[in-house]
Structure 1
Amino acid sequence: MIIIKEFDFDAAHYLPEYNGKCERLHGHTYKLVVKVEGTPDHEGMVIDFIKLKNLVKQEALAHLDHACLNDIIPVPSAENISIWIWQKLEKLLTGDHYRLYEVEVWETRTSGCVYRGE
C-alpha cells in the first residue's frame, strides 16, 4: 500500500552547467509528491498524513520554499532536488511497517523527476 502527500513550494534556481535559457536565474512553483509504502498499523494507517506533512515541511520545505536553490544544492536540477529531498526524509520515514517509497519533483505541470533512492 502506498500513501501519497502533495506539496507546492516556490523557489528560484539557475543551472550553471546548462547551455540555454535555464542557465539564468528563474523561478518555478514546484510540486513535490512524497510516497510512503507500508502496511496499516493498529490504527488502520500506514502513516498519519499529519505526521507526514509536518516532517516534509520541517525537513525539506522549510529550507526550499522561497529560496535560491543554488544556495542549498550546487546544481539544482529536478534530479538533484529529488535526491536532496530523499536524503533529508529517508531515515525519518523508515518505521516498523513503512518506508519512504518515492519522491517526485515537478518543475512545471509537464516536467518532473521521480526518485526511489537508486
Structure 2
Amino acid sequence: MFLTKVFKFDSAHNLVEYHGKCEALHGHTYRLEVTIEGTPGQDGMILDYGIIKAIVKEKVINRFDHKYLNDIVPQSSSENLVQWIWNELKSPLCGDNYELYQLKLNETETNFVVYRGDQIQ
C-alpha cells in the first residue's frame, strides 16, 4: 500500500555551466510528493501524516523554502535536488512496517522528475 503527502515551497536557483535561459537566476514554486510504501499497523495506519509533515518540514522545507538552492545543492537541477532530498528523507522515513518509496519533484505543472532511490548514481 502507498501513502503520499504533498508539499510546496518557493525557491530560487540557476544552472551552473549551462547555456540557456535557466543559467540566469530564476525561481519556482516547487511541488514535492513524498510516497511511503508500507503495511498498516494495528492502528490501521502506515504512518501518521503529521509525522511525515514534521520530518519533511525539518529536513527539506525549512532548508529550501525562500532560499537560494545553489547554496545547498551547487548544481541545482531537479535531478540533483530530488537525489539530495531522498538522501535526507530515506532514514527518517523508514520504520518496521514502512519505507520511503518515491519522490516526485515538480518545477512546473509540466516539468517534473520521479526518483525511487534505485537509479544509477
| TM category, shorter | over 0.9
Unaligned runs of 5+ in 2: none
String of CA shifts for 1:39-95, please: whole Å, max 9, x gaps.
Answer: 001100001001001100011111000000000001111111100110000000110
Partner amino acid, structure 1, of 2:11: A
Q: Which residue of 1 aligns with 2:94?
A: 94
Normalising by structure 1, report the TM-score.
Answer: 0.98
Q: Which residue of 2 aligns with 1:25?
A: 25
Normalising by structure 2, report the TM-score.
Answer: 0.96
CA RMSD, 1 decimal:
0.5
Partner amino acid, structure 1, of 2:26: H
**Do residues 58 (structure 1) and 58 (structure 2) align?**
yes
Q: Which residue of 1 aligns with 2:41?
A: 41
Unaligned runs of 5+ in 1: none
The CA distance in 1 between the partners of 2:105 and 2:78, in whole Å, is 6
Quote how far apart the aligned CAs of 1:17 are: 2.2
**Do residues 105 (structure 1) and 96 (structure 2) align?**
no
Q: Determine what percentage of the aligned residue pairs are the same residue.
A: 50
SS state of the match for residue 18, structure 1? Answer: coil
The CA distance in 2 between the partners of 1:112 and 1:94, in whole Å, is 24
Quote how far apart the aligned CAs of 1:20 are: 0.2
Quote how far apart the aligned CAs of 1:11 are: 0.1
How many equivalent residue pairs?
A: 118
SS state of the match for residue 85, structure 1? Answer: helix
**Do residues 7 (structure 1) and 7 (structure 2) align?**
yes
SS state of the match for residue 46, structure 1? Answer: coil
Quote how far apart the aligned CAs of 1:18 are: 1.4
